[in-house]
Structure 1
Amino acid sequence: MSKMEHFRRCGLVLVMVVAVLAFYTSGISWEFNKEEFEFRSEEPRPKIAKIEISSKISSKLQRVAPIFRDMRTDKCIHNITAESGFNFSADENTSIHTCFRKNLNVIKMYHASNKRLDWNITFSFFTFLAKKPNVKIVEVGGNVGDLLPKLVRVTGVKKYVVLEPVPSFYEKLKTNIKQRSLTHIVTPYNFGLGKTDEKINISPSGVATSLKKKSVSDATETLLIVKVVDFFIQLGIGCHRLDLLTINCEGCEFDVIEMLTSSSLIKQIDYVQFQPHASVFADKKKYRFLYCRLRQLLSRTHEIAYEYPHVWEAWRRKGIPKP
């Protein structure tokens, strides 16, 4: 056999090997490209709401007391600006896409996070706040008040505001606050937060009650929802910093954080802790997109303090020292 013939046969074998490998991996490549195509061409994509900063606070919020002394809310309104963050840069889009691909199996990641999570972290992580004077905390989605006494104990917080929109839960929350002798520290309000002011009828389903998930219960309660930005301005966050915002509201975390990051208010919050809720979304692809977009929005002003993907995570404002 001549050298030319030998090289020809070797080349033919190499071509056949490459062809076989291409055949067996084509399904994998096609699936990836299909997923990538669906991500990039998804229509309609969840849109970021354009923020409107009211020149005057809604009458629905007049009963909400600022958490800072000697402060007039109307003086803070003009400190808040809308952020031009509705369009992502090429690098940010790449980061969102990478996150979207990384979180293909949300359920598997949830169980992995749940397995290694110490659930005490939602309050034990913030023990360093006890060294600060006049700590202020806001909790969105207080339910009946399981987390707040723990945060009060470990942080020495002076002002704690908790929101619970479901009337039946709110009554239990008020009772628990009174029984724990925390009325001088904790102020509860019976409304939730959203992109717009509205009233919603809902059938409560325990701790999993969500505005984004239908319930089979026949009992119906009416929930009051107020604008995210208006509420935080009324508290006085436009003029002062908030030490911790903790959110566990069965899906409303996307609206709350999205609206805060769409304004300069997010720069006034040192720590944002939240629990993502994939379970309230029938469309897991939409959840993944919202989750990845939310993280990208937060990354503009904050950095990860701790994370257990799809269970609990906390973000620290950039520029403040680590505890």
Structure 2
Amino acid sequence: MSSRKPKLVLLLVGLSVVFSVWLTWGGSRKEVQDEMRSDQCGDNFTEVSEITFVKSLLAKRAPKFRKEDCSISPGTQKLTAREIYFKEKCIQNFKLDHAHGSDQFWSGDTQYIRHTHHKYLTSQSLVLDVGGNKGEDADAMIQAFHPGIYVILEPINSLFTKLTDKFKSQDNVILYNFGLAAKDDTFFVNVVGHGGDATSVFTGNKGGKCNLKVYNTTQFMQRLGVPCYDVDLITINCEGCEFEILETLIASGLISHFQHVQFATHPLLTRLEKPVERYCEIQQKLARTHIIEYQYKFCWETWKRKDIKRYQIKHWNLRVKKK
């Protein structure tokens, strides 16, 4: 019996050590998991996640940009016979135009036209960037043109946190931790891509653990004071929300307050309702107030308001005719 006691003691000590290691490993594993979850979803929402925090920029706009009448006039939503004709042609040509536009845009350095094209921007300019992502577009335009005010909207918390750190020393950059849509909503999504850069609610991605807030586009623009002044540029790249934003701006009449409109298009997102038809209708309605400056159909493009002088049409993405 006496010879067995040391063995029993050693066994108990060994089990105690194993149990202690297991508890330590389990605790550290939980901490790692929590940290990973935090990195994925980002920090909790703050005051800049609420639309009530949005302040008017009217006081910061130079007199030449201001409007005496702050009312907005919704345009007619019914297409004319001519517009219907061109809409149908656009729909029919989708596959060829999409392939052609995408190939051209992503060829070499062509894609950077979305950064370099906007040489009209000055230290007095106001830019709205909807879908700031990692800040690549914002950083390129800020470095090149030094606009006086650069507003970035980014609903993905992990990306927003990085944007906050990236632009923390630049007073001209205003950040909001939400996106825009046709109406207010909150989604729970899985963060997809490198740091969330491919996250979209239009890919069957709902039901995740990370919050994503969006607000009504018209309400946001009114709070920002847009009906009372012109905006030099709105650039929109938000994994499918471009359609709702453009449709809302056009329907409300607010589109006439944007001198330049740049947007990406994501027509292949699986949960996006009728993207081709909507894109082609937006083309016709946008052409009432603006004219194309560069266009890679169903990919990226920029339009300039018709009354802006010295406009120049570039890079018109014409459909290649079959021989």
Same fold at TM > 0.5: yes
Does structure 2 conserve the Cα–Cα contact (< 8 Å) formed by 1:126 and 1:154?
no
Change (3 A) 1:79 1:201: same
Matched, 1:152 2:163: no
**Counterparts of 2:279 and 2:270, CA distance in 1:** 11
Equivalent position to 1:205, from 189, 192, 202? 192
Deviates more, 1:265-274 or 1:205-214: 205-214
Q: Report what 2:87 is aligned to.
A: 96
Paired amino acid for 1:124: T
Q: Report what 2:117 is aligned to.
A: 125
SS of equivalent residue, structure 1 residue 88: coil
Alpha-carbon deviation of 1:279? 2.9
CA deviation digits over 1:186-225, x for unaligned, max 9? 0110011011111111111122211211249x95211111
**Counterparts of 1:67 and 1:226, CA distance in 2:** 18
Q: Report what 2:279 is aligned to.
A: 291
Within 5 Å, which residues of 2 pair with 1:266-281? 266-281=255-270
Alpha-carbon deviation of 1:106? 5.5
Within 5 Å, which residues of 2 pair with 1:209-288? 209-215=199-205, 220-281=209-270, 286-288=274-276
- Runs of 4 or more, structure 1, over 2 Å off, are 59-62, 78-82, 104-117, 281-284
Alpha-carbon deviation of 1:123? 1.4
**Counterparts of 2:294 and 2:248, CA distance in 1:** 22
Change (3 A) 1:215 1:60: closer
SS of equivalent residue, structure 1 residue 209: coil
Deviates more, 1:286-295 or 1:107-116: 107-116
Within 5 Å, which residues of 2 pair with 1:1-323? 60-69=50-59, 79-105=70-96, 107-116=98-107, 118-130=110-122, 133-178=123-168, 181-182=169-170, 184-206=171-193, 207-215=197-205, 220-281=209-270, 286-322=274-310
Change (3 A) 1:236 1:174: same
Deviates more, 1:195-204 or 1:103-112: 103-112
TM-score normalised according to structure 1 size = 0.73
Change (3 A) 1:265 1:283: closer
Deviates more, 1:290-299 or 1:81-90: 81-90
Does structure 2 conserve the Cα–Cα contact (< 8 Å) formed by 1:80 and 1:264?
no
Does structure 1 conserve the Cα–Cα contact (< 8 Å) formed by 2:249 and 2:255?
yes
Alpha-carbon deviation of 1:239? 0.3
Q: Report what 1:45 is aligned to.
A: none
Change (3 A) 1:66 1:119: same
Does structure 2 conserve the Cα–Cα contact (< 8 Å) formed by 1:113 and 1:310?
no
Alpha-carbon deviation of 1:82? 4.9
CA deviation digits over 1:18-42, x for unaligned, max 9? xxxxxxxxxxxxxxxxxxxxxxxxx
Q: Report what 1:25 is aligned to.
A: none
SS of equivalent residue, structure 2 residue 136: coil
C-alpha RMSD of matched pairs (Å): 2.6
Q: Specify every segment of 5 or more residues in structure 2 that has no aligned partner in the other structure, as ranges.
A: 1-48, 62-66, 312-323
**Counterparts of 1:282 and 1:113, CA distance in 2:** 26
Identity in percent: 30
SS of equivalent residue, structure 1 residue 279: coil
Does structure 2 conserve the Cα–Cα contact (< 8 Å) formed by 1:113 and 1:309?
no
TM-score normalised according to structure 2 size = 0.73
**Counterparts of 2:153 and 2:112, CA distance in 1:** 21
Does structure 2 conserve the Cα–Cα contact (< 8 Å) formed by 1:196 and 1:226?
yes
Alpha-carbon deviation of 1:66? 1.6
Paired amino acid for 1:121: I
Q: Specify every segment of 5 or more residues in structure 1 that has no aligned partner in the other structure, as ranges.
A: 1-58
Does structure 1 conserve the Cα–Cα contact (< 8 Å) formed by 2:58 and 2:228?
no
Paired amino acid for 2:178: F
Deviates more, 1:85-94 or 1:253-262: 85-94
Tell me the number of residue pairs that the alignment of Structure 1 and Structure 2 aligns. 255
Does structure 1 conserve the Cα–Cα contact (< 8 Å) formed by 2:150 and 2:174?
yes
Does structure 1 conserve the Cα–Cα contact (< 8 Å) formed by 2:202 and 2:240?
yes
Does structure 2 conserve the Cα–Cα contact (< 8 Å) formed by 1:129 and 1:135?
yes
